[in-house]
Amino acid sequence: MKVGVVTFPGSLDDRDALRAIKLAGGTAVALWHGDHDLKGVDALVLPGGFSYGDYLRCGAIAAHSPIMSEVVDAANKGMPVLGICNGFQMLVESGLLPGGLIRNDHGNFICRDQVLRVDNTSTPWTSGYREGQEITIPLKNGEGGFIADDETLRRIEGENLVTFRYSEVNPNGSLHDIAGLRNEAGNVVGLMPHPEHAVESGFGPDTAIAMKSGTEGLTMFESVVGSVVHQ
């Protein structure tokens, strides 16, 4: 029921993630990168932003933060962990998820409402979606190109680790249209687009019904709040 959000120097979407957790019925707990304390949370979100100004590599310096030793421990023990955008970059940099993220193939920063297909619903973050369901949530990054070597890609596909795939358009050259991944156990999920920006009507992506009324990201937070409650 308690979901923590870690703030790093340069995090931008930590407050949005905290708000999304509250709207999903969870208790949102703010955590700090410099602490060694997860404050008894049941699940974790690594939020988006530009930690350490994207210096060195996106997410690389944050992945070596003090709190990350606790995050990695908890993830390896099965705690649900969601990395969004810069948080996804931290998860690949810390080795919790396979592959890497590089500059978009067209070289531009991209900001758009992006359609995704939910390819795997057997994670605590996606259990509320239907397999194959298409959702629209914002995407905003400059380095969201997912890459991995052929052997890793085969393993990712063979073990059904792809959790979200870009639909309609591949916005950044990601291999196999991969927008988000889970680990083998399924508790760790990372994705480049931003579910926390599609949780409240009036502030989400446009839909066929009304401008800014899209809330299809909320299910991700409701899923984890539900999974933690039911444990």
Partner 1 sequence: MATIIIEVMPKKELLDPAGKAVLGALHRQDIHGFQEVRIGKRFELHVDGEVTEAHLATARTLADELLSNGVIEDVVSIRSEDSPA
Smallest separation, CB 174 to partner 1 (Å): 11
Nearer to partner 1, 104 or 126 (CB): 104
99 makes contact with partner 1 (CB under 8 A): yes
Q: Pick the binder of partner 1 from 147, 167, 176, 207 (CB under 8 A).
A: 147
106 makes contact with partner 1 (CB under 8 A): yes
Q: Pick the catalytic residue from 194, 200, 216, 222.
A: 194
Smallest separation, CB 141 to partner 1 (Å): 13
Q: Which of residues 56-75 bind partner 1 (CB under 8 A)?
A: 56-57, 60, 64
Q: Pick the binder of partner 1 from 127, 155, 173, 212 (CB under 8 A).
A: 173
User: Do residues 221 and 199 touch, judged by C-beta distance below 8 A?
Assistant: yes
Cα(14)–Cα(18) distance, integer angstroms: 6
Q: Which of residues 110-139 bind partner 1 (CB under 8 A)?
A: none
- Cα–Cα distances (Å) from 187 to 83, 97, 113, 152, in that order, read 11, 11, 26, 19
Q: Pick the binder of partner 1 from 92, 178, 224, 228 (CB under 8 A).
A: 92
Q: Pick the catalytic residue from 58, 85, 197, 222.
A: 85
194 is catalytic: yes
Q: CB within 8 A of 189, min separation 6: which ones?
A: 80, 81, 82, 83, 123, 125, 126, 163, 180, 181, 182, 183
Smallest separation, CB 75 to partner 1 (Å): 18
93 makes contact with partner 1 (CB under 8 A): yes
Q: CB within 8 A of 127, min separation 6: which ones?
A: 121, 223, 226, 227
Structure tokens of 161? 């680790």
SS (H, E, C) 138-152: EEEECCCEEECCHHH
In the chain the first and final C-alpha atoms are separated, in Å, by: 10
176 is catalytic: no
Smallest separation, CB 180 to partner 1 (Å): 17
85 is catalytic: yes
Tokens 């795939």 map to which residue? Answer: 165
* Binding footprint of partner 1 on the chain (CB under 8 A): 56-57, 60, 64, 92-93, 98-100, 102-107, 145, 147-149, 173
